């Protein structure tokens, strides 16, 4: 009790000193404070002064693989991780490099579903902690960047070990560092582990889904998983089950609880995963555990028996709201499934929920339990027919974090309307390969009705949402889906990047655009703000790639070419720097074949592309990320393609070898599908491929 009281007093003192105009104001943790609301009390940059905002300095990152990290600013230094978990310490006043650390994870990058991205580091006293793609948590000396200790979070004896990766930022909880993992699309079982900051010693582990019956883990989750194992059926453990906690983990020091956001099933298809039976706890859930022991406290499942990749890993915000005349400690989340939730964070009780984007898979939420009122057509594996529904697997809100302003009482959500056809795949789960159990047709074989529904309904928004009334107050329509994380400030501002290569400042009350900056690349990472020597700065990592920008393919092209120089951009009121001139590369739109390939062979290649290639090279072979657009690559139809895909000629550059997963005949089918997509989009005299049986 004394320790909790100390933490509360420390937080109150910190906030009070900031609001009284302290000349220095850090951004010490991922969400800024223990509420994780990404709301800064700084107001030197405000609605009146924002027109004076300019670029103070920038730092080039020498990569084009995408930026997702929230920088941490402590004691005048910015700490952050770039692609491939490369960690930087930068002077926050002028952008001078202090140190750089590279954990050498290139070979492990093929494990990640969505590119070699990293959402940041954690800083504690004299240490900087980074979680690497290959599963390590690494403690670095804060002053020098030298390794102090490292621990492998993935048990090499685990038969699924090679399927895990980590892209999330570690979280500091008391004297521990907590981290989850990803990999549910490849076959994995989720868990969160707490390690001592001092030496990396393991304190506790909580598995998010049950393991094989009769085999306890001897971990903090044993008791509760024994009770919820009846929500699973079949031989789910062979596929891992999923439930990976790949992003959000938050700590409430007053309640001494850790809140874990869990992900989708492995595979997505509920029939394949669990014989179509049971809610499959704790998939797509918020799970509260005791901070000291890791023992279960409560849970709330946003999407029971998830079959659509509707994760609940999206960021959570803690605040107090007056509801029906009573002040309640609440937890706010807008997960992928399209509904905005207000939960009692003491008990996990559902308070309210409404859809904030287009939702066609459910008619709403049960008013007393919060359970979705599913439409019968949503369970595609039961109907035998594909269902086009909103949201897609990309979600109504993905990982770019929302922010909450206590001044306006509004939550600012980077939201999107994108639909997707869901159908049951015929192939079985392949452990270690990207397998969802969903026939996504590689995005290149949609019927015309599905294509029209996809493109007509595709939108991106910044939405201001009132959590008390569960209604939208304003929205700004973006040029494309999947835009950047959000920062709110006491200066009356909301700040976010977008797919159209901009950093934009909005009026928090009205959504009116006040200022913008051409970042020369799409911006997904959330901005932060800090002050040094009485001057307020805004910092953001700019760099397009990872997740939906890759797999979204043609959807991401709505904003034009979002690829550009990856940088850390820092702004202030007297900023006068200019970026070097830059023009996006324009690749000639020429087909890699002069005649269409066999449609029979191409159709065999479509599911192979979806399983092995889509996550990097894009839906429909449309690459909107930093990876090659195969529709335009002459290598595809050359002998070099065999050497790369099967021979591993580019392993050192992050392109894995698939020699143990594909044979020569399958490679030809894969080439045919890519060639067909190239001809469909760029062929000079397109004919009907179905009528052409020549290879």
CATH code: domain of residue 671: 1.10.760.10
| Stretch 563-567: mean pLDDT | 91
pLDDT at residue 15 greater than cutoff 50? no
Does any domain span residue 594?
Answer: no
The answer to whether 660 is a known catalytic residue is: no
117-128 tens-digit pLDDT: 999 999 999 999
Lookup: tokens for 620? 């429909």
Contacts 24+ apart (CB under 8 A), 97-104: 97/59, 98/145, 99/144, 99/145, 100/145, 101/130, 101/140, 101/145, 101/147, 103/130, 103/132, 103/134, 103/136, 103/138
Same domain, 140 and 257: yes
- 606 and 461 in a single domain? The answer is no
| Across 658-681, average pLDDT | 84
Query: Mean pLDDT: which of 426-440, 541-555, 667-681 is highest?
Result: 667-681
- In sequence order, what are the residues at sequence separation of 6 or more whose Cβ sits closer than 8 angstroms to the Cβ of residue 583? none
Residue 592 lies in a domain: no
User: How many degrees, rounded to 5, is the angle at CA 599 between CA 597 and CA 600?
Assistant: 120
Task: Examine the pLDDT at 269 and tell me if it is beyond 60.
Answer: yes
Say if 69 falls within a structural domain: yes
- Tell me the average pLDDT across 369-392: 92
Instruction: For residue 668, name the pLDDT band (cuts at 50, 70, 90).
Output: confident
Please give the Cα distance from 148 to 478 (Å, whole number). 44
Report the range of poorest mean pLDDT among 210-214, 265-269, 585-589. 585-589
Quick check: is 585 in a domain? no
Single residue among 553, 572, 591 that ends a domain in this structure: 572
CATH number at residue 241: 2.140.10.10
Region 441-445 average pLDDT: 51
114 confidence band (pLDDT: 50, 70, 90): confident
CB 267 within 8 A of CB 429: yes
Q: DSSP state, 166?
A: -
In this structure, the answer to whether residues 639 and 551 fall within a common structural domain is no
Residue ranges of E strands in 543-629: 567-572
Q: What is the pLDDT of residue 692?
A: 35
Q: What is the pLDDT of residue 684?
A: 63
**Do 504 and 645 sit in the same domain of this protein?**
no
The structural domain count of the chain equals: 2
Give pLDDT, residue 236: 94
Among candidate residues 572, 607, 623, the one where a domain is terminated: 572
Q: Which domain holds residue 22?
A: 2-572
In terms of pLDDT, which residue wins out, 485 or 163? 485
* Band of residue 439 on the pLDDT scale cut at 50, 70, 90: confident
- E strand map for 443-591: 459-466, 471-478, 486-489, 493-497, 502-507, 513-518, 528-532, 535-542, 567-572
301 forms beta bridges with 285
pLDDT of residue 448: 67
Nearest to 530 by CA among 44, 142, 8, 14: 44
Q: What's the mean pLDDT in 672-683?
A: 83
Answer with the residue of higher pLDDT: 16 or 545.
545
The answer to whether residues 273 and 331 belong to one domain is: yes
Kindly state the helix (H) or strand (E) to which residue 318 belongs, with its residue range.
Answer: strand 316-323
Instruction: Quote the longest CA-to-CA distance of the chain.
Output: 78
At 76-102, the pLDDT tens digits run: 999 999 999 999 999 999 999 999 999
Q: To the nearest whole number, what is the mean pLDDT of the chain?
A: 88
Same domain membership, residue 359 and residue 277: yes
Report whether pLDDT(642) > 50: yes
| 349 and 314 assigned to the same domain | yes
Q: What share of the chain in percent tops pLDDT 70?
A: 88
pLDDT value at position 8? 44
Q: What confidence score (pLDDT) does residue 440 get? A: 61
In a domain, 68, yes or no: yes
Active-site position among 309, 417, 629, 681: 309
Q: Collapsing DSSP states into helix, strand and coil, what is residue 678?
A: helix
Q: With pLDDT > 90 as the criterion, what percentage of the chain qualifies?
A: 66
Q: Are 497 and 564 in contact (CB under 8 A)?
A: no
Tell me how far the alpha carbon of residue 133 is from its chain's centroid: 14
Q: Phi/psi of residue 536, each to 5°?
A: -90, 140
pLDDT, tens digit (0-9, with 9 covering 90-100), for 20-49: 344 799 999 999 999 999 999 999 999 999
Nearest-10 crossing angle of helices 599-612, 664-682: 100
Residue 93 tokens, joined: 């006043």
Question: Same domain for 157 and 281?
Answer: yes
In a domain, 425, yes or no: yes
Q: Please check whether residues 547 and 605 belong to one and the same domain.
A: no
Q: Is residue 586 part of a domain?
A: no
What per-residue confidence (pLDDT) applies to 694?
A: 32
DSSP single-letter state for residue 170: P
Per-residue pLDDT tens for 235-246?
999 989 999 999
Place of tokens 């941490």: 72
Do 155 and 36 have their domain in common?
Answer: yes
- The yes-or-no verdict on residue 624 having pLDDT over 70 is no
pLDDT reported for residue 111: 66
Q: State which of 537, 572, 607 marks the end of a domain.
A: 572
Q: 85 or 110, which is more confident?
A: 85
User: Do 391 and 338 meet the contact criterion of CB atoms below 8 Å apart?
Assistant: yes
Instruction: Supply the pLDDT for residue 649.
Output: 80
Give exposure, 475-514, as e/b (b: 16+ Cβ within 10 Å): bbebbbbbbbbbbbbbbbbbbbbbbbbbbbbbebbebeeb
pLDDT of amino acid 489? 98
Please give the pLDDT value at position 554.
58
- Cβ-proximal residues to 174 (8 Å cutoff; 6+ apart), any chain: 3, 291, 292
- Do 542 and 667 fall into the same domain? no
Query: Where residue 552 falls among pLDDT bands split at 50, 70, 90?
Result: low
Query: What is the model's pLDDT at position 555?
Result: 58
564 vs 154 pLDDT, higher one: 154
Same domain, 606 and 546: no
Residue 618 maps to a domain: yes
């Amino acid at each position: 009790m004394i320790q909790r009281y100390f933490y509360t007093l420390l937080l109150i003192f910190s906030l009070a000193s900031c609001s009284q105009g302290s000349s220095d104001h850090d951004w010490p943790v991922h969400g800024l404070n223990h509420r994780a609301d990404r709301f800064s009390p700084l107001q030197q940059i405000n609605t009146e002064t924002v027109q004076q905002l300019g670029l103070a300095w920038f730092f080039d990152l020498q990569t084009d693989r995408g930026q997702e990290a929230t920088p941490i600013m402590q004691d005048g230094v910015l700490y952050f991780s770039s692609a491939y978990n490369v960690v930087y310490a930068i002077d926050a006043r002028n952008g001078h490099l202090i140190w750089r650390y590279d954990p050498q994870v290139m070979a492990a990058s093929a494990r990640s579903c969505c590119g070699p991205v990293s959402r940041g580091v954690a800083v504690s006293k004299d240490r900087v902690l980074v979680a690497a793609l290959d599963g390590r948590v690494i403690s670095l000396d804060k002053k020098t960047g030298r390794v102090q200790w490292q621990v492998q979070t993935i048990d090499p004896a685990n038969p699924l070990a090679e399927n895990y990766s980590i892209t999330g930022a570690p979280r500091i909880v008391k004297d521990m560092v907590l981290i989850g993992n990803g990999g549910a699309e490849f076959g994995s079982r989720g868990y969160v582990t707490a390690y001592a900051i001092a030496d990396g010693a393991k304190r506790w582990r909580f598995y998010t889904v049950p393991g094989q019956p009769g085999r306890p883990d001897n971990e903090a989750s044993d008791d509760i998983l024994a009770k919820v194992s009846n929500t699973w059926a079949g031989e789910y453990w062979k596929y891992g089950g999923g439930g990976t906690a790949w992003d959000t983990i938050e700590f409430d020091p007053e309640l001494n609880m850790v809140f874990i956001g869990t992900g989708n099933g492995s595979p997505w298809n509920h029939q394949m995963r669990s014989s179509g039976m049971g809610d499959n706890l704790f998939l797509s859930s918020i799970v509260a555990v005791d901070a000291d022991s890791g023992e279960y406290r409560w849970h709330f499942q946003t999407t029971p028996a998830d079959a659509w990749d509707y994760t609940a890993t999206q960021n959570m915000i803690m605040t107090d709201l007056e509801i029906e005349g009573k002040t309640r400690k609440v937890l706010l989340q807008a997960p992928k499934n399209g509904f905005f939730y207000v939960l009692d964070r003491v008990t996990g009780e559902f308070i309210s929920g409404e859809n904030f984007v287009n939702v066609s898979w459910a008619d709403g939420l049960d008013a007393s339990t919060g359970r979705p009122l599913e439409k019968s057509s949503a369970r595609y594996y039961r109907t035998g027919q594909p269902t086009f529904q909103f949201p897609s697997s990309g979600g109504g809100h993905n990982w770019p974090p929302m922010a909450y302003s206590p001044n306006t009482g509004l939550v600012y959500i980077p939201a999107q309307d994108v639909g997707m056809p869901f159908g049951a795949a015929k192939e079985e789960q392949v452990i270690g390969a990207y397998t969802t159990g969903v026939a996504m047709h590689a995005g290149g074989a949609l019927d015309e009705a599905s294509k029209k529904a996809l493109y007509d309904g595709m939108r991106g928004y910044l939405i201001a949402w009132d959590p008390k009334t569960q209604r939208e107050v304003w929205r700004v329509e973006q040029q494309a889906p999947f835009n950047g994380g959000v920062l709110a400030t006491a200066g009356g501002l909301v700040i976010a990047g977008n797919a159209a290569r901009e950093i934009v400042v909005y009026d928090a009350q009205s959504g009116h655009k006040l200022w913008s900056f051409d970042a020369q690349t799409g911006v997904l990472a959330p901005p932060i703000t800090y002050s040094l020597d009485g001057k307020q700065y805004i910092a953001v990592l700019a760099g397009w790639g990872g997740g939906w920008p890759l797999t979204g393919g043609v959807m991401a092209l709505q904003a034009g070419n979002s690829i550009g120089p990856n940088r850390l951009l820092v702004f202030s009121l007297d900023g006068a720097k200019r970026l070097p001139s830059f023009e996006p590369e324009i690749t000639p739109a020429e087909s890699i074949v002069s005649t269409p390939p066999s449609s029979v062979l191409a159709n065999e290649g479509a599911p192979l592309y979806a399983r092995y290639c889509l996550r990097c090279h894009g839906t429909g072979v449309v690459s909107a990320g930093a990876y090659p657009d195969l529709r335009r690559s002459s290598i595809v139809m050359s002998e070099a393609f065999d050497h790369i895909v099967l021979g591993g000629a580019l392993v050192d550059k992050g392109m894995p070898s698939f020699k143990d997963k594909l044979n020569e005949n399958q490679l030809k089918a894969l080439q045919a599908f890519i060639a067909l997509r190239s001809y469909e989009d760029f062929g000079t005299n397109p004919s009907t491929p179905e009528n052409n049986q020549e290879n």
